[in-house]
Amino acid sequence: MILIDGKKAAAELRAELKEEVAELKSKHNKVPGLTVILIGDLTPSQIYVRNKEKSANEVGLKSEVIKYPDSVEEKTVLEKIQELNSDETVSGILVQLPLPKHIDKQKVIEAIDPSKDVDGFHPMNVGNLSSGYESSIPCTPLGCYLLIKKIEPNLSGKKAVVVGRSNLNGKPMTQLLLKENCTVTITHSKTKDLKAECLEADIIVAAVGIPELVRGDWIKKDAIVIDVGINKTDNGIVGDVHFDEVSKNAKALTPVPGGVGPMTIACLLKNTIDCFKRSQI
Ligand code: NAD
């Protein structure tokens, strides 16, 4: 079984991006800039944002974090986004989710200029992705896609099952696999027989949030299995896939941690650079 090393893949991607930033700098005499807005003091969000900032600096991006307390008014955040939209030194804007209850998430997402939407959540980017046009692609599914392509460059005609239909993961993942000419089944909490669906799959992407939901006897021999889940349990962090069981049948499998997670941040940097490049045309 191939253990898909997300840490290594992410380090390779960051090294490529670092070179690209250096080339862009010599060509345009400026570097792509990422601005993250962090609201409140939720520990996981703070850790994510710190890691994003560290990785951005590592590849040579200009990075900035704007912090607001939990009590910040929605209007203040929307005004700041408008300011960043018209700031030429800012290539990408990311508002770290979740947001406090009094702030309308969709309003915030839609306030970001689609050409600076490095999360790929703006309806314009969602629509472009589903129509097969150029767009920002949500970072986690983009990371999964790049890992799958490393194992199997030609996905045409493969059967893929995506477990979970969130806007963040399942839906964009489905679009990326469709674009590669996979036959895609998207499954969710109301799917009648998830095991039977998974047993058909050459590729499984699990993004559910239920510890070890996908079991060893759900896997067709030699399937590629990508585990997006990050679940805190008494035994530590586990994915949505039962690693020990599935590793016996799968051709390739991502571990948790060390699989999809590191690729998510590397893809955020890639999206920032891609936004910059599109803005220079
Ligand atoms: P979500 O809660 O928004 O969506 C979960 C989806 O799973 C829903 O579509 C739901 O219909 C489906 N589902 C629920 N129960 C199911 C069942 N029994 N059978 C089949 N489908 C079922 O979750 P999300 O934001 O997509 O996140 C999913 C997981 O991925 C979480 O563990 C989250 O922490 C993790 N995550 C990881 C990364 C990363 O970088 N690795 C990034 C984002 C999210």
Would strands 183-187 and 62-68 be described as parallel, antiparallel, or unpaired?
A: unpaired
Taking only the tens place, the pLDDT of each residue in 226-244 is: 999 999 999 999 999 999 9
Within the chain, all domains assigned CATH 3.40.50.10860 are found at: 29-114
Q: Is 261 in the pocket of ligand 1 (CB under 6 A)?
A: yes
Taking only the tens place, the pLDDT of each residue in 153-171 is: 999 999 999 999 999 999 9
Closest CA to 240 of 229, 254, 225, 256: 229
Token pair recorded at residue 206: 């699990």
Region class of 164: left (phi > 0), else alpha (psi between -120 and 50), else beta:
left
Give the 3-state DSSP-derived string for 204-269, with helices as H, strands as E and coil as C: EEECCCCCCCECHHHCCCCCEEEECCCEEECCEEECCECHHHHHCCCCEECCCCCCHHHHHHHHHH
Distance CA 157, CA 154 (A): 9
Q: What pLDDT score does 254 carry?
A: 98
The answer to whether residue 113 is catalytic is: no
Mean pLDDT, the chain, whole residue set: 97
Q: Annotated catalytic residue: which of 80, 96, 175, 202?
A: 96
Atom of ligand 1 nearest to the CA of 213: 18
Q: Is 188 in the pocket of ligand 1 (CB under 6 A)?
A: yes
Within the chain, all domains assigned CATH 3.40.50.720 are found at: 139-261
Q: What pLDDT score does 146 carry?
A: 98
Token pair recorded at residue 232: 């805190």
Q: What is the mean pLDDT of residues 93-105?
A: 97
CATH 3.40.50.300 fits 139-261, yes or no: no
pTM above 0.95, yes or no: yes
Residue % of the chain over a pLDDT of 90: 98
Topology classification of domain 29-114? Rossmann fold (3.40.50)
Among protein residues, the one whose CA lies closest to atom 35 of ligand 1: 229
Q: What is the mean pLDDT of residues 5-22?
A: 98
Distance 207 CA to ligand 1 centre (A): 4
Q: What pLDDT score does 281 carry?
A: 77
Distance CA 205, CA 212 (A): 13
Among protein residues, the one whose CA lies closest to atom 12 of ligand 1: 164
